Structure 1
Amino acid sequence: MLRRFKEAPVRLLLEYAVRAWAEVLPDLVKAGNNTALNAAIKAFAFSILVCETQRKIPMATALEAYSVALRSVNDSLKIPNKSSLVQLMAAVMCLLFAELVLPTSLESWTAHLEGLGELMQTREPQFYASGIAHRLFVGARPALIVLKIQSRKASFLASEEWQTAPFQEIIPSPMQALMNEATAIPGIIERMSQEAGITTADRLLTELEALLDRLALWETSFQATPEAPRFWYDGDCIWFDSLTTANGLTHCWAFNVICLTCVGKIVGLFPDLRPFAHISRGMVSQETRRMSMLICRSTKYLMQDKMKLFGPTSIVLPLQTAYDTLKAGGAETERDFACCKEILESALGEKHFLSLFFKGDV
């Protein structure tokens, strides 16, 4: 198996990895021998094989490969010009996925992701407008936005130049268009925790109303494109026409829930403020509950074995959002929360790496 990997390391990855960033690995490998990138690809591949049944390898082997890759990437970061920026970005992204399978910690995963964001900012946004750099950018951006939402910190990706310059040559996909809207969420959450006063609260409500309108427009446009429905019910579960659709809609629902939760908190602090003309306080609660259950019922589709790493990793933010929202609902959402908790416990049992994100919650 090791000989086969050495002969065709990227082909082994592409059997599983369908994300845009993974598809550039062959070009990066052909561009020149790079120790850090090669070691990171190997660690990524071995972490995948840990989960395989036919070609399974010992965890110790995967951990050793990961340790070698980590040292190699650290060495490259210390020595200027040892690796190109795109090679380093790809190496870090390989390590990110390896982290999801290996028994490390959430702190390590977030540290890699924070480092990736710092690496990206060493170049101007225009650098990511085309070629391999663009593919890596669009592959990394969703994870970076999710990280900032979870850490409640504003992201550099929210600035206008970072939303427009990387897409001046290539039109953003529907998922990337959705992420353009989501870049505003971390900053809103951060300001809610730092600022006080009815004037600021009213301003935040206005921003949230505009953002919710844009999210609704995105969902309407996204679902109106195909002739067949984007999703349908199979019993209590929701099935989708593709993994891309599942990713887009579950994240759109999660972003809606987060925004509506922010609305509820602001109105709770300032009762004299009304939400929006078309959304009453009661509707805020109803909509967060409805969309949270849509997310929960989508989990079975995304947890299918054929999704490999990409289905389960994409459900992390939506499922965490739904879980926290239904838990906070108290008696009003008790039955829905019990259902969500059962789904989450099942997911944790099937994909052990999800415990990194939900450790101690269930």
Structure 2
Amino acid sequence: MVGVPRSSGCATCVKRRCDERLPGCAKCETYGKPCPGYDRGFKFITGKPYRTRRRPPGNGSSSPNKQRSDRVSPNAGNHSQSASQVAVQKEQPWCLISGDINVMQSLEALIEDFSQPAPSSQKHIVSHWFSYLPSVYGHNRTLDATIKSFAAHHFGKIFQNNQMIAYARSAYGESLHRLRKSLKNPSECLSSHIFCSVVLLCLYELFTDTEDPESWMKHAKGLGQLVKIRGPDRYCNELDISLLKVSRGLIVMHSMFSGEACFLATQEWHQMMRQQCAPGISSDLHQSIEQFFAYFTYAPSLVHRFYHLKEIDITTPEALQIISATLEQALDLQSKLAPWYEQFSQIAPPPSETLTSTDDLTYPIVLTYSDMTHASIYCGYYAYMIIIHEVLKTFGYPGPHAAMVIYFRDQICRSVEYSSVGVLGPYRLGFPLRVAIEVADPATRSWILARLSQFSKIYAASQPKNFEPILGSNEH
């Protein structure tokens, strides 16, 4: 369009060739001018969150549950209708107008999106954490920039608005710049606000980075270091507890894929997390989930031993010792998970079988769960059992381990239709599918890659290229 600058550079050097470095460009630095950043002037328009118009009862009307199921597609990456109602418009050409009331309004819509499809009484721990964002916004400039970046990217992807996505990148650069300063400030570095910023930045990478499959690992490593430095005694309010519950899955996954020991695998951390019950969860369910996560923190050490054996001569005395220790650990975890599963299945109903709604020929019978939290724990259990049985099968321990690997792999795949719904669906399935694809035959692998390709439109970490085999052969 005539008269509209096509450069995405900063306001000062838009007529020059700008390197677009963040948080400020080199041109401004050379000329001794403060870089005004890359904002292009949009705002979230204040408005009421979308609500489905009520239909009068009568012929042709459906129940509330039926109306709700009609609005939610079984395919991952679909968003609730509320988000698409948040209007965005261009304002003054070089001035970002984002008053607090507009950011707060946007957060309301974002929280609703990330809570779907579950009702408020059945929120997943991650979506529950998002509900704290309005209360912490406006108290810390590092966290404010991070919140704006995450929200702008979310709505930019929904509307396919490149201007919003560009602003999200700019705010992301600002948040990183501020975070470095905050981490050097003794009075701020261990605060809940900075902890919240680090968690949100890690999630931002998972949702946005399409170039570097390991970018989230760098943030997850920093997140783990911060959690460790803060120490177990600092998690004593609801926000910190929720942030820790969100963080630990990322910390365990980073440990597993990086080869680094998982510091959460200690009685001190286990005891602290058992004492801190997240809101809205019964005591029995809380204790059962915490017991599973305590076992889950030992998964990295099992995988590290197993992976190490894939790279060395297994006939050496050293290898034989590692094999013995690995088998002993796998059998110990199997013996502990068996009674845990019996107890958990009494608290959280096991999934039921139903016909797929997508005419899927590979998995025509799928699994449905009582709620998303239960589904997440069950899928985590299936993934853990794959690892254990794969170890036992590889080293020739007696038992139908090959069949069990296939069974638990298929349980994960049959859970995809239920668990992948909503913005957070691909996030919930990240670890289970990562394990399932390691043991998939060619047909199942193709099926998983097709699902991942769909997820990656919203959740960048689901790009198929990020799921290259790690542990070895896919032939079963």
Whether TM-score is above 0.5 comes out as yes
The alpha carbon displacement at 1:153 in A equals: 2.9
Change (3 A) 1:83 1:125: closer
**Which of the numbers 108, 111, 117 marks the counterpart of 1:14?**
111
| Match in the other structure for 1:117 | 224
Mind listing any 5+ residue stretches in structure 2 that lack a counterpart? 1-42, 47-97, 116-125, 278-282, 310-316, 356-363, 470-476
Deviations 1:260-288 (A, max 9, x none): 22223344xxxxxxx3xxxx34x111101
Indicate whether 1:150 and 2:261 are aligned: no
Indicate whether 1:182 and 2:296 are aligned: yes
Determine if contact 2:354/2:367 at 8 Å carries over to the other structure: yes
**Which of the numbers 185, 192, 212 marks the counterpart of 1:86?**
192
Indicate whether 1:295 and 2:412 are aligned: yes
Query: Number of aligned pairs?
Result: 335
| Higher Rg | 2
Which protein has the bigger helix share? 1
Determine if contact 2:367/2:414 at 8 Å carries over to the other structure: yes
Alpha-carbon distance in 1 for matches of 2:320, 2:238: 47
The alpha carbon displacement at 1:301 in A equals: 2.2
The alpha carbon displacement at 1:12 in A equals: 3.7
| Match in the other structure for 1:225 | 347
The alpha carbon displacement at 1:51 in A equals: 2.8
| Match in the other structure for 2:448 | 343
Change (3 A) 1:130 1:231: farther
Indicate whether 1:28 and 2:136 are aligned: yes
The alpha carbon displacement at 1:34 in A equals: 0.7
Name the Cα RMSD after superposition: 2.7
Alpha-carbon distance in 1 for matches of 2:445, 2:439: 10
The alpha carbon displacement at 1:112 in A equals: 0.8
**Which of the numbers 137, 150, 157 marks the counterpart of 1:44?**
150
| Match in the other structure for 1:209 | 331
| Match in the other structure for 1:96 | 202
| Match in the other structure for 1:243 | 372
| Match in the other structure for 1:330 | none
Change (3 A) 1:97 1:359: same
TM-score (norm 1): 0.82
Alpha-carbon distance in 2 for matches of 1:99, 1:319: 19
Alpha-carbon distance in 2 for matches of 1:220, 1:51: 42
Identity %: 23
Residue type matched to 2:44 in 1?
A: L
Determine if contact 1:28/1:87 at 8 Å carries over to the other structure: yes
**Which of the numbers 234, 241, 252 marks the counterpart of 2:381?**
252
The alpha carbon displacement at 1:210 in A equals: 2.0
Determine if contact 1:181/1:211 at 8 Å carries over to the other structure: yes
TM-score (norm 2): 0.64
| Match in the other structure for 2:240 | 133
Residue type matched to 1:292 in 2?
A: R
Determine if contact 1:126/1:166 at 8 Å carries over to the other structure: no
The alpha carbon displacement at 1:360 in A equals: 6.9
| Match in the other structure for 2:44 | 2
Determine if contact 1:163/1:180 at 8 Å carries over to the other structure: yes
Alpha-carbon distance in 2 for matches of 1:25, 1:179: 25
The alpha carbon displacement at 1:37 in A equals: 0.5
